[in-house]
């Protein structure tokens, strides 16, 4: 989807949604209540309190958070660069979080 022209806005939006879900899953796995927020930087900060070795670039997370909202409105459009960066950031953070989540015991 991210390689086809015209999908840039959707790519950034879905990248934000993907990471939001992964952060919230990690917080839930730690037994933490999840606030109804969409700010990836704040979710990452909360996770960092529980996982001291966790870190993600706050400026990257802010960029995706803002893009996930901003590009949903008329007059604002994501560029090819915005979409490509969102994909790269999302893949990197998702890979780290999914790797950690896979180490947890299965819940029946």
What would the pLDDT profile of 59-77 be if each residue is shown by its tens digit? 999 999 988 877 776 777 8
Rounded Cα distance between 74 and 72, Å, is 7
For position 78, what pLDDT does the model report? Answer: 79
The whole-model pTM stands at 0.88
User: Can you say whether the dihedral through the CA atoms of 10, 91, 33, 57 is positive or negative?
Assistant: negative
Instruction: Dump pLDDT digits (tens) for 9-46.
Output: 889 999 999 999 999 999 999 999 999 999 999 999 99
Q: What is residue 67's DSSP assignment?
A: H
Mean confidence (pLDDT) of the chain = 88
Q: What is the pLDDT of residue 75?
A: 75
């Amino acid at each position: 989807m991210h390689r086809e022209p015209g999908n840039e806005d959707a790519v950034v939006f879905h990248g934000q949604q993907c990471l939001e879900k992964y952060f919230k899953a990690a917080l839930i796995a730690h037994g933490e209540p999840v606030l109804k927020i969409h700010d990836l930087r704040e979710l990452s900060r909360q996770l960092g309190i529980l996982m001291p070795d966790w870190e993600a670039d706050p400026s990257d997370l802010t960029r995706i958070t803002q893009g996930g909202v901003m590009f949903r409105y008329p007059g604002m459009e994501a560029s090819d660069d915005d979409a490509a960066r969102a994909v790269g950031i999302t893949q990197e953070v998702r890979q780290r979080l999914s790797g950690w989540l896979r180490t947890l015991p299965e819940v029946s």
